[in-house]
Homo-oligomer: A and B are copies of this chain.
Amino acid sequence: MKGSSFFSWASRALHSHPAFTKVFVVFTVSTGSLLTYSESKSDHGTENDESSKTEAKKKRVVVLGTGWAGTSFLKGLDISSFDVQVVSPRNYFAFTPLLPSVTCGTVEARSIVEPIRKIMKKKHGEIQFWEAECVKIDAANKKVFCRSNHDTDLVGNDEFFLEYDYLVISLGAQVNTFNTSGVMEHCHFLKEIEDAQKIRRSIVDCFEKASLPGLSNEEMRTNLHFVIVGGGPTGVEFAAELHDFITEDLIRLYPMVKDLVKITLIQSGDHILNTFDERISSFAEKKFQRDGIEVQTGCRVVSVSDREIKMKLKSKGEISSIPYGMVVWSTGIGARPVIKDLMEQIGQTNRRALATDEWLRVLGCDNVYAIGDCATINQRKVMEDISLIFEVADKDNSGTLTVKEFQDVIEDILIRYPQVDLYLKSKHLRNVADLLKDSQGNDREEVDIEEFKSLLSHVDSKMKSLPATAQVAAQQGAYLARCFNHMEDCKTKPEGPLRFRESGHHQFRPFQYKHFGQFAPLGGEQTAAELPGDWVSMGQSTQWLWYSVYASKQVSWRTRFLVMSDWTRRFLFGRDSSRI
């Protein structure tokens, strides 16, 4: 998950001070059945019995994963209303946007992780964490099966299952090799902390191996050829970090191989950073050119062997091979096996991720939610509901829609179908009623169903799926937590828009993503950024903005202290190249 981005939830959630009531609920699974006992410490002793009874009725929420989405959900959740259990093979949350910095030791791995138990502790008890991997989700029977990932010398069952009333899937994604042969075996990835640590060791290996006696210049060049596949934000940031690491630190210690090092970035599209503004993309390409980083655009990798990477130039169809020392594969994400298995169970086959509705509920199961990289929202099309919308809007059943009638429902339409808003913006229409204007731009009193359909016919073309970023995941987690917190209230007082297909209102407003912008660090204290309001900023001042935003967004004061101390250390002493 990549997110050179900035959001406001983290600091808000961080500084909240929950009440002092501490309740510990311990779940014990043995011989297949779930036994529950609770130990409750309350400041109000007399409430003890009562609160125990309330707890017995609490709905069980199981959260899978402790990445951006899961952690954000947990932070936002009012845990006094639920029995919460969290399952993750990693007992920490990692600030993944700084992973590229970890690969080169600009920031230490330890500085961007925070134990999930510590994050949960700020909520004063009540959440159970199991360090295990979810291996199967049985949505029909509301169970998840888990396997602990500890070595076998320790005693106890390695497998257990949990029953849930609500399941929140926030398992993230795994790398997608697009079935390119050799990628799994020979490439590095950049998704987990361990990946970044391996890359760091591997970079030093390449330099040490190139420095050994007996190598020809050609062999040294091969070992010192670093290839990055994927010109997205992660790949570009890694290339930039690597270039800095080499020019600022490594060549001082390995002066004899100075002129033999090469970095190549392979991008299948025509430009790197193609999800960014064109100006940023071109700024990055020029910067890389000056730095001597070779950017090969329009190239698709066809296979990777132990020594060579084979690629096809899309325009000419030519296939060429280049020898390499290290390859980092930083393109594409795919579904994890456990997600694929669930998708098969619920008839969602051949998808990259779990489909949810606009309320993040997994389509085809009950009480299962999916957030973050493992999910995509299936946005309902306006055209699918166009007749129903017309019917609901046409209050007097006149067969035509007046401006007034349209204005009465437009708010609901905008909330229910966010593509309408995007369409308006793309047409530079300020007032929604302007939609009803005729082709000459004159106001119309009313429109009939056919005219209505034709007016909205292009709206759905503005639908777009959300990027797989930390920013999206965190917002989804926070949104879902809010829904959970208001679940009871909103049953009686729904706060969502009109239901066009049925009567009444939706219980909640659908999830709506708010893009706060995106950073693209380019090395040498240069960063590009897309800021809110389509503002583009590039250069050293943006790098300082990046430092301050990333420091402020840290999950704890500890990691904030560490990250800032790492940056200081890098300024003073450079990056360490000890092979540990």
Chain A residues at the B interface, C-beta cutoff of 8 Å: 24, 26-30, 90-92, 105, 108-110, 113-115, 117-118, 121, 129-132, 148, 150-157, 160, 162, 186, 193-194, 197, 204-206, 208-215, 219-220, 222-223, 252-256, 306-307, 323, 325, 556-558, 561-562, 565, 569, 572-573, 576-580
Contact = CB atoms under 8 A, between A and B. Distances in A.
10 contacts: A91-B208, A110-B576, A114-B576, A130-B213, A131-B212, A154-B206, A155-B215, A156-B219, A193-B580, A557-B573
Contacts of A157: 212, 214-215
Contacts of A129: 211
B90 A579 contact: yes
Contacts of A255: 24
A256 B115 CA distance: 17
Given A213-B160, A569-B558, A576 B113 contact: yes
A325 B154 contact: yes
Contacts of A256: 24, 26
Q: Of residues A27, A114, A117, A121, which shows the largest number of chain B Cβ atoms within 10 Å of its Cβ? A: A117
A209 B129 CA distance: 11
B578 A113 contact: yes
Contact of A223 (B132, B155, B254, B569): B155
A110 B578 CA distance: 8
B558 A156 contact: no
A151 B205 contact: yes
Contacts of A565: 565, 569
Nearest to A130: B212
Contacts of A150: 205, 208-209
A560 B155 CA distance: 41
Contacts of A153: 186, 306-307
Contacts of A557: 572-573
Most B Cβ at <10 Å: residue of A30, A208, A214, A215: A214
A108 to B, nearest CB: 6
A115 B253 contact: yes
Nearest to A214: B29
A254 B117 contact: yes
B578 A92 contact: yes
A92 B160 contact: no
A154 B223 contact: yes
Given A153-B307, A154-B222, A197-B580, 4 more contacts: A118-B253, A118-B577, A154-B206, A194-B580
The 5 closest A-B pairs by CB, nearest first: A92-B578, A558-B573, A131-B208, A29-B213, A117-B253
A555 B51 CA distance: 58
Given A90-B579, A558-B576, A573-B561, A155 B307 contact: yes
Contacts of A558: 569, 572-573, 576
A577 B91 CA distance: 8
Nearest to A206: B154
Given A150-B205, A204-B91, A252-B121, A212 B156 contact: yes
A317 to B, nearest CB: 29
A128 to B, nearest CB: 8
A257 to B, nearest CB: 11
Contacts of A556: 573
Nearest to A577: B115
B214 A253 contact: no
Given A118-B253, A579-B91, A154 B209 contact: yes
B577 A109 contact: no
A555 to B, nearest CB: 11
A337 to B, nearest CB: 22
A247 B169 CA distance: 34
A282 to B, nearest CB: 35
- Which of A109, A115, A160 counts the most B-chain CB atoms under 10 A from its CB? A115
B154 A115 contact: no
A157 B212 CA distance: 8
A131 B253 CA distance: 13
A144 to B, nearest CB: 12
A539 to B, nearest CB: 29
Given A154-B205, A223-B154, A573-B557, A92 B212 contact: no
A580 B307 contact: no
A91 B415 CA distance: 59
B578 A572 contact: no
A24 B160 CA distance: 61
Contacts of A30: 213-214
A206 B220 CA distance: 44
Contacts of A91: 204, 208, 577-579
A106 to B, nearest CB: 12
Q: Among the interface residues A131, A152, A206, which one has the most CB atoms of the partner chain B within 10 A?
A: A131
A170 to B, nearest CB: 18
Contacts of A569: 558, 561-562, 565
A110 B113 contact: no
Nearest to A574: B558
A580 B156 contact: no
A559 to B, nearest CB: 9
Nearest to A578: B92
Contact of A253 (B90, B121, B219): B121
A186 B219 CA distance: 40
Given A115-B577, A117-B254, A253-B117, A148 B108 contact: no
